[in-house]
Structure 1
Amino acid sequence: MLASAATPTPFFPLKSPNAQHSLPNFNTYLEVIPVRTRTKTKLSNPTPTLIFSYATKHHQYHCLNLISCSNRSVITRVSSDDGGGGAVDATPQHSKSPDIEEIEKPSPSFGDGYVALFVRMLGLDHDDLDREQAIVALWKYSLGGKKCIDAIMQFPGCINLTVNLLRSKSSSSCEAAAGLLRSISSVNLYRELVAESGAIEEITGLLSQPSLTPEVKEQSMCTLWNLSVDEKLRVKIANSDILPLLIKSLDDDDIKLKEAAGGVLANLALSQINHSIMVEAGVIQKLAKALTADLEGAKVLRKEARNALLELAKDEYYRILVIEEGLIPVPMIGASAYKSFKPGLYSWPSLPDGTEIKQTSKGPSKYGASEVLLGLNIDDKNVNIEETKMKAVVARSHQQFLARIGAIEIENGEKSQSGCLSEHRLTLLPWVDGVARLVLILELEDESAISRAAESIADASINEHIRVAFKEAGAIKHLVRLLGHNNDSVRLSATQALERLSISNHVCQIIEAEGIIDPLVNTLKHLQTSESLIEKSLNLLARILDPSKEMKSKFYDGSVNGSKKLSDATKNPEDSAVLTGNMSDKPISNVNAREDVLDTAFIARLVDILKNSSPNLQRKASSVLEFVTINDPSMDSIISVDIESGLAAVFQQKVLNDVDSDVEDQQPEKYVLEVEEAGLAISTASRLLTKLLDSPQFFQSINSTHFTKLLREILKSNVPLHYKDWVAASLVKLSSLSDSKLDSGNPINMEVTLYETIPRLIEKMKTSFSPDAKEAAVMELNRIIAEGMVDSTRAIASEGGIFPLVKLIEDGSEGAVEASLGILYNLSMDSENHSAIIAAGAVPALRRIVQLQRPQWPRALHVLRTLPT
């Protein structure tokens, strides 16, 4: 028997893994604790357990255990070599104390002796109690830092034995095994070895157990947190069954578990290849909820959720999903940039969007605070301020206060660095604060910051709610002001933001009221303006001057997301302030501003764009010129700038005339896109030409024969059918003005019918959901055939009209069946159409009509007799 005398307690000071989660102090020690002895052990045949007892210098049978700590876990993550986020180094980064110097010296009695013994005790030939004691001792020892982990990793089989213990039925063994893997994976050198041992697969199975304790879950997820730092392992983790478990853990009550899950997801988001599978799993909604939740002690969780969402938001489509969750990407420009902010000193306050507050009381308020505490003097019964306005006021006050005290962009008690380090950084803010912050940045002096803020406004303006919020926050007046900035990048970003905001009809009116037409016209007049700025400016100007906007406003001029116009309130005489109006209530003085568009120099610039620009710019220039034709009936200014040459250039698109190009065969997708853009430009220019032809003076000044030839070639080209309607209208109008008779012998009328009317009617038969529309189309088609137009039947067959005709015979109305049979009979006269008619299933349909003796059975019989049946 072993001696039972008490042994002195050995002392092992340990290193603190990190500053955040450290052991209580460096006096934490390892103590030899008595363990129940085995019964009747023979010394002649010593077991590993007895070897372990002798290793304690022949004292009583002991096992090393760590005295209880104040924390049940220690984070020992490391940063990856490639800069992966979400981890800290396992070795202390602070200055070394004498105790630490002593720790770093290897302990021969423990490191060289006991580690090897404990690793041996992990073997499958030991009972569960020995293995549990060994894994717990190794886990606690690994918390001492990198040198302790290196001592364990001198035995290569340790990892495999540890991974095997993840299957143990003992929660203590599972926790210790996962904790040891967590410590080992915190070192860059061993991370891949942990993954190769099958740890990811075993942890996946472990986390799938419903009865798993929170301690085991935390250690397992923190191991994945360390492993996900490696870019090669991220794909493996994201493609496993772990992802749904991680997302589910974001709803767990344990904050440590939430932090670990958020950290893994943040690391997975660093690899773009994982984005699609993460978004499809619903990670954006969960992370947004975690970021905006007001949880105590959730700073790490919010940081990891923000990092993950920012990585996902780098994709244009996923950024929209993030914004839809109520979060807006805001550029980090550095705290020093806000020093230039100069808040306005108002003699009387106003709302951010320009709403004025009128003072009605003759004397000051009772408390002398009317100018500051405006809300004290508003009668809620008479004045109704929308929620969006109230949030804009609160958010503006909040952001301005932070800017004044220099508290913006302060993290962990330190100001964020300015300059190149923050040049491309973003953060995520709730839309209320995000909108106000972006508007505040527009008031600064830093050109780079202003440009990035305007770009963020453009990206965030994805729906009516956000666009109205920017309007209420006062973004429009600052953006319009920036159109006159001397920096091209600032002007481009501001124009892009206004273009996105102008999608809203209501906001577009406010933009025009701010006087945007004049700076847009000046920008387009400038010959050195970049093509991208010309495109944005033209698009914005065309949207403001859209001739159909007045009709649209009759239907869409109502409230937008509850944004009703403020009405004047009847105030009590004691009240010192009332709301007198909103910018949306102000009459928009369009007349004087829109006269700038009628300037001859500006029109000449638009014609020059028609001659020398891309189809996209040609389309927008044609749209603005259409507004000129409506507002200048005399056409003097347009005729004087040679509009004819501009239109001719649009009608001669390179993609339609370049027959030798191999783009159609080698790059069919690119070819389709180019034809689509050309078709848009041609359609808009044809509509402009049609309206210009209303002026006899214009018709007499152009070469109508040349335009007729150009339009006829377009009508026969590969331009999509829905872009040929205005081309056909222009041809018909040119023909009528040329005193040509519109009969079947007229070549123009015939070509319009063959290349526009017949394809359009067949398309309606194929795609329309209305039986009446289909019947009208087929009857019109039958009328064209009855007139005996040359090649009309061939045009129907080439456009794929046989199949919809047979379909109408089967389920159309009586009139549609009659017309369809008439067309099929004419088509059957050409033997080349027989195979297509039979393939469309006409024979069974015709036989049913004959057998049922429907009113159309004689004609159906005639068609059957012409077919080879």
Structure 2
Amino acid sequence: MMATISPNNFNFSFKVQPQPRNSHLEKTVILNHRRRNLKPPLKINLYCHFFNPRKCPCLFVVSKATGDADSASQHSTVSDVDATFSSLSSTDENYVPLLVRLLGLDNDLLDREQAVIALWKYSLGGNHCVDKLMQFRGCVNLTVHHLRSKSTQACEAAAGLLRMISSVNAYRDVVAESGAIEETTALLRRPSLTAEVKEQSICMVWNLTADEKYRLKIANSALLPVLVKCLYDQEMKVVEAAGGVLANLALSPPNHSIMVEVDVIPKLAKFLTNEIEGSKVIRKEAKNALLELVKDDYYKILVMEEGLVPVPLVGAAAYASYKPALHSWPSLPDGTEFRRSSKGPSRYGASELLLGLNVEENTDKVDKSKMDAIVGRTHQQFLARIGAIETEDESKLDKGFSSSFHQTLLPWKDGVARMVLILELEDEMAVTKAADAIAASAINGHMRTSFREAGAVQRLIHLLSHSSHAVRSSVLSALDKLSISNSVCGTMEAEGVMHPLINVLNDLKTNESLIEKTVSILARIWDPNKQMKLKFYGGPINGSTKIIDSSSQDVTEIGGSEVEMESMLDSTLAARLVDILKIESPSLQTKVASILEYWSMIEQCVDVILATEIESALINFFTQKVPRDMETFAEYEEPDVAYVEDVGLAVSQASRLLTKLLDYQQFRRTVNLNHFTKLLRQILKSDIPLDYKEWVAACLVRLGFFSSPFENPITTEVALYETIPRLIEQIKTAFSADAQEAAVVELNRIVSEGVEDATRAVAAHGGIFSLVKLLEQGSERAIEAGLAVLYNLSMDSENHSAILAAGAVPILRRIILSQNPQWTRALHLLRNLPV
């Protein structure tokens, strides 16, 4: 976006005040001429001389009271002013150097103030007047000094003169390097300041921010909080100027974090959400600033939390193809229909056209989100029909503005409806932009629900069969983000999204990006937890469509049958899922394994899964993960945390799938259980995160039931590599005293049973320090179990230094002296230590 400078057109009225003859200023000018042996000047009013209303017909002359009270109240008529200026010649510009000289600090204060006022009025004549002034470079520094003046008129004139000078690109550096920013900061921080002074000062800063090199300086100064405070000023001119400065500062990405820290986003958003009444100018500047901030994903979330949504601009021409659907009976934007009332037509005679005639009877059926969807849809459809949509923003695109103008900001109610409306257009580029915008805007449950109520789900599902690859990709992204919400996911399932997704998945030409988006949606629909709830509670897991009956209070729910769900998994889909499981993408493998676990919980579908190459796929999965990860961890000191988390999650989910398949005898008869045991034991000993070893250990225990315990010491390895580390972590991080107590009691049981190398595992995972700390704040049962574990650890002299370093000695002495029930255990432990 192009930087803007403050407008220099003023709307002033004429007020010319006559000056007494032989005033002090006139005497000074004559004296200066005589000293230089120059021709005496014309005896005229210097204020009127440098203010020619014929050149600047919109300027206002600020009167200065230099005479008595009577003369100060006298004003000349317009005809008198014209007569006065008709006697002046162009050669009177020779007074400019004299006025610049009067700005010097060696002159009288009143003369200096009068000179800066006269120079300001002269500069309003245009760029040629500013060029005349800038022939005397010292005038800028002298003008900046007047920003410290106690006179309101002098401050306004100095700021106005600097504003005019900084409006010329060639002189902007001179103003910035003269200390104008620092002096303006001090000026604006004064407790009592007129709106005129604020306006001129901020507009001067507005001009400086047109250059990028000064934006960072201004943003890092004390001026930024002052500008933000000016957004609440009573004068709209001051608010507009402050908004213009903030819009220019937002053009530099390094300033974004600084601006967010001073709460720029909520203050500017209020002008666009109509919480504060503002002018067209401040709304425009606020929108420009926020459009720059939403380029950052994090700041976009902050903007959306204030009730604004970024909406793509697709061009007014794209709406020419829009044809609103005409319904003979009203319906909600999400497709929910109202059943006809058996009471007959409405007494108002418009029951088939108006939706809210019987709203008093249906207020409990139509919640606020549906009402907002109705209002937003009606508003946007009206704008599209009359051709008043995007007309102003479209002109900006023709002028070559940056990409920030390819989107606008709307209140979420209108923004959601606008994006759903764009989905109904025929322009492929417009539909792609809308789908991408929906994916980016679905950041929380409120937005996802709003899109569902606005009818986005049905339209997106319809677009899955679009011929354009770009459209399908964007639509899948939108559905993927919307499906995060369980309620929206249920609506997708009820609307029949599975069959289009299965078609996308079975298409061998589908690339990996589309496969991952499709699998992500299906993994949320076919969630194993849903099957578990179905088994325990017997409730429907499918989504349902609701039809509101206007004649009664009933709400009908329509859900899919289990037979229909089972028919979706055929041999083609099962083989395709197993093939995708072989793709080396941890996140994709996690989702596919979750889907296969879902279907493996349905006994009728197990044979379909076993008919595929599921065994070789799982063996290949476990084989390719473990060796590579162990080498990676040995080679690099700091492995990629995100990759390690993804691998751990994938291994955990694959172990869950294998555990479930072991429940079926036909699977156990056809696979090599010893091979799986060997692979999982290697994974259990690897460096994947501890949280993901739980299902690996559970699967190993399950495998141990079908193998000889003497050949496969699975229980010991599970205790050493999963149970003991998990219990120690629970002792460290548990907020509940009961959880800590349960963990240390279980740890004592494992160590007391004489599990080989159990004490070494406890010491290796930092259990000594956690146990010693527990002795100070644990319950009596936890202290007793902790002392027992530490006693077993003290039997190995290698642990003595760690026990002493943890500070166990003073704690043990305190327990012994207190004569608590555990004092004998503490005494035995203390005797084992070298103290």
Give secondary structure in 1 for the equivalent of 2:129. Answer: helix
CA separation in 2, counterparts of 1:60 and 1:435? 66
Match of 1:749 among 704, 715, 728: 715
Match of 1:457 among 414, 432, 438: 438
8 Å CA contact retained: 2:271, 2:277: no
Q: How does 1:735-746 map to 2 (within 5 A)?
A: 735-740=704-709
Match of 1:59 in 2: 43
8 Å CA contact retained: 1:650, 1:681: no
Match of 1:480 in 2: 461
CA separation in 2, counterparts of 1:592 and 1:228? 67
Match of 1:145 in 2: 126
User: Which whole-Å deviations, capped at 9, do the CAs of 1:173-209 have from their partners, x for residues lacking one?
Assistant: 1001101111111111211221111111100000100
Give secondary structure in 1 for the equivalent of 2:291. Answer: helix
Q: CA deviation at 1:528?
A: 2.0
User: Which whole-Å deviations, capped at 9, do the CAs of 1:220-258 have from their partners, x for residues lacking one?
Assistant: 111111111111111111111111111111111111111
8 Å CA contact retained: 1:328, 1:460: yes
CA separation in 2, counterparts of 1:40 and 1:358? 87
Match of 2:736 in 1: 770
My pick for the range that moved more, 378-387 or 463-472, is 378-387
Give secondary structure in 2 for the equivalent of 1:34. Answer: coil
CA separation in 1, counterparts of 2:530 and 2:33? 89
Q: CA deviation at 1:417?
A: 4.4
8 Å CA contact retained: 1:442, 1:453: yes
8 Å CA contact retained: 2:346, 2:357: no
CA separation in 2, counterparts of 1:546 and 1:402? 42
8 Å CA contact retained: 1:846, 1:860: yes
CA separation in 1, counterparts of 2:59 and 2:531? 69
8 Å CA contact retained: 1:383, 1:569: no
Match of 2:653 in 1: 684
CA separation in 2, counterparts of 1:41 and 1:657? 91
Q: How does 1:270-669 map to 2 (within 5 A)?
A: 270-293=251-274, 298-360=279-341, 368-380=349-361, 384-411=365-392, 417=398, 425-549=406-530, 568-570=549-551, 585-591=556-562, 594-595=565-566, 597-633=568-604, 635-654=606-625, 656-657=627-628, 661=632, 665=636, 668=638
8 Å CA contact retained: 2:8, 2:164: no
1:423–1:201 Cα change, 3 Å: closer
1:825 maps to a residue whose letter is Y
Match of 2:683 among 705, 714, 724: 714
8 Å CA contact retained: 2:270, 2:276: no
8 Å CA contact retained: 1:141, 1:148: yes
1:34 maps to a residue whose letter is Q
CA separation in 2, counterparts of 1:507 and 1:785? 49
1:155 aligns with 2:140: no
CA separation in 2, counterparts of 1:565 and 1:50? 96
1:124 aligns with 2:105: yes
Match of 1:843 in 2: 809
2:741 maps to a residue whose letter is E
Q: CA deviation at 1:634?
A: 5.9
8 Å CA contact retained: 1:611, 1:646: yes
8 Å CA contact retained: 1:32, 1:65: no
Match of 2:248 among 245, 251, 267: 267
CA separation in 1, counterparts of 2:792 and 2:464? 63
Give secondary structure in 2 for the equivalent of 1:428. Answer: strand
Q: CA deviation at 1:747?
A: 1.8
Q: TM-score, normalised by structure 1?
A: 0.86
1:21 aligns with 2:9: yes
CA separation in 1, counterparts of 2:37 and 2:237? 38
1:601–1:126 Cα change, 3 Å: same
8 Å CA contact retained: 2:547, 2:557: no
Unaligned runs of 5+ in 1: 1-16, 75-105, 572-578
CA separation in 2, counterparts of 1:810 and 1:24? 79
1:615 maps to a residue whose letter is P
Match of 1:34 in 2: 19
Give secondary structure in 1 for the equivalent of 2:310. Answer: strand
Q: CA deviation at 1:550?
A: 6.3
1:363–1:568 Cα change, 3 Å: closer
Q: CA deviation at 1:313?
A: 0.8
User: Which whole-Å deviations, capped at 9, do the CAs of 1:280-308 have from their partners, x for residues lacking one?
Assistant: 11111100112223766600000000111
1:699 aligns with 2:668: yes
- RMSD in angstroms over aligned alpha carbons? 3.3
Q: CA deviation at 1:449?
A: 1.2
Q: CA deviation at 1:467?
A: 1.6
Match of 2:216 in 1: 235
CA separation in 2, counterparts of 1:619 and 1:720? 16
8 Å CA contact retained: 2:11, 2:59: no
CA separation in 1, counterparts of 2:478 and 2:617? 30
Runs of 4+ in 1 over 6 A off after TM superposition: 17-20, 39-43, 49-56, 67-74, 294-297, 418-424, 550-555, 563-566
2:606 maps to a residue whose letter is M
Q: CA deviation at 1:760?
A: 0.8
1:22–1:860 Cα change, 3 Å: closer
Q: CA deviation at 1:376?
A: 3.0
Q: CA deviation at 1:41?
A: 11
Give secondary structure in 1 for the equivalent of 2:761. Answer: helix
CA separation in 2, counterparts of 1:131 and 1:501? 67
Q: TM-score, normalised by structure 2?
A: 0.89
Match of 1:78 in 2: none
1:756–1:368 Cα change, 3 Å: same
Give secondary structure in 2 for the equivalent of 1:612. Answer: coil
Q: How does 1:768-847 map to 2 (within 5 A)?
A: 768-847=734-813
Match of 1:732 among 680, 701, 704: 701
8 Å CA contact retained: 1:56, 1:62: no
My pick for the range that moved more, 643-652 or 680-689, is 643-652
Q: CA deviation at 1:663?
A: 8.4
1:547–1:694 Cα change, 3 Å: same
1:218 aligns with 2:206: no
My pick for the range that moved more, 404-413 or 709-718, is 404-413
CA separation in 1, counterparts of 2:35 and 2:426? 76
1:515 maps to a residue whose letter is G
2:32 maps to a residue whose letter is P
CA separation in 1, counterparts of 2:374 and 2:298? 31
8 Å CA contact retained: 1:225, 1:264: yes
1:52–1:445 Cα change, 3 Å: farther
CA separation in 2, counterparts of 1:530 and 1:285? 41
8 Å CA contact retained: 1:290, 1:302: yes
CA separation in 2, counterparts of 1:865 and 1:345? 91
8 Å CA contact retained: 2:337, 2:548: no
Q: CA deviation at 1:746?
A: 5.3
Q: CA deviation at 1:56?
A: 6.5
Q: How does 1:204-215 map to 2 (within 5 A)?
A: 204-215=185-196
1:124–1:418 Cα change, 3 Å: closer
When the two structures are aligned, how many residues end up with a matched partner?
Answer: 798
CA separation in 1, counterparts of 2:212 and 2:396? 30
Match of 2:642 in 1: 673
CA separation in 2, counterparts of 1:690 and 1:107? 101
User: Which whole-Å deviations, capped at 9, do the CAs of 1:112-147 have from their partners, x for residues lacking one?
Assistant: x12222211111111122112211122122222222
Match of 1:101 in 2: none
8 Å CA contact retained: 1:821, 1:859: yes
1:549–1:865 Cα change, 3 Å: same
Match of 1:102 in 2: none
8 Å CA contact retained: 2:435, 2:478: yes
Q: CA deviation at 1:163?
A: 0.6
